[in-house]
């Protein structure tokens, strides 16, 4: 017993062309934004020097000091209080470690002195400084 006749439903149609257009637009957007030149978060103006020295980067640990930002040990932000402990730990792993200080020319000199004190407390023998060469 069938009270209502069965209606045949049409299969839902998905418009693929508009989906492809949207996906192509998203793909182009991602390609343009990911290949854009990335600017550094903090700009560093190095002091100038006429002396040129090239050092090895094999056993070098870099400490960056900016004008108003925190101190960076490599790429990790740190404080002066924690820096001595971190340098001591790194020195225990590699006794031939050298420290390079990359400080902005307008960075407070007190910060540089504190980093040098932390390096001496960690028994680091060689401390270098990054400078910008002035070619004449």
64-104 residue pLDDT tens: 888 887 888 888 888 888 988 998 898 888 888 888 888 88
Select from 127, 102, 110 the least CA-distant residue to 43.
102
The domain 48-133 having CATH identifier 3.40.50.720: the answer here is no
Select from 110, 104, 108 the least CA-distant residue to 129.
104
Q: Are strands 60-65 and 71-73 parallel, antiparallel or unpaired?
A: antiparallel
Tokens at 90, concatenated: 């790194």
Output the pLDDT for position 26: 95
Output the pLDDT for position 28: 93
Q: Give the mean model confidence (pLDDT) for residues 9-28.
A: 86
Output the pLDDT for position 68: 80
Who wins on pLDDT, 38 or 15?
15
Measured CA to CA, the distance from residue 110 to residue 7 in angstroms comes to: 85
DSSP character at residue 118: H
């Amino acid at each position: 017993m069938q009270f209502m006749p069965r209606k045949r439903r049409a299969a839902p149609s998905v418009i693929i062309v508009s989906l492809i257009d949207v996906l192509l637009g998203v793909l182009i957007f991602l390609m343009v934004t990911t290949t854009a030149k990335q600017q550094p978060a903090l700009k560093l103006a190095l002091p100038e020097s006429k002396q040129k020295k090239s050092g090895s980067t094999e056993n070098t640990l870099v400490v960056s000091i900016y004008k108003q930002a925190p101190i960076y040990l490599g790429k990790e932000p740190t404080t002066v209080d924690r820096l001595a402990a971190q340098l001591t730990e790194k020195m225990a792993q590699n006794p031939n470690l050298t420290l390079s200080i990359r400080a902005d020319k307008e960075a407070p000199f007190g910060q540089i002195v504190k980093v040098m004190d932390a390096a001496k407390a960690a028994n680091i023998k060689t401390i270098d400084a990054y400078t910008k060469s002035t070619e004449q």
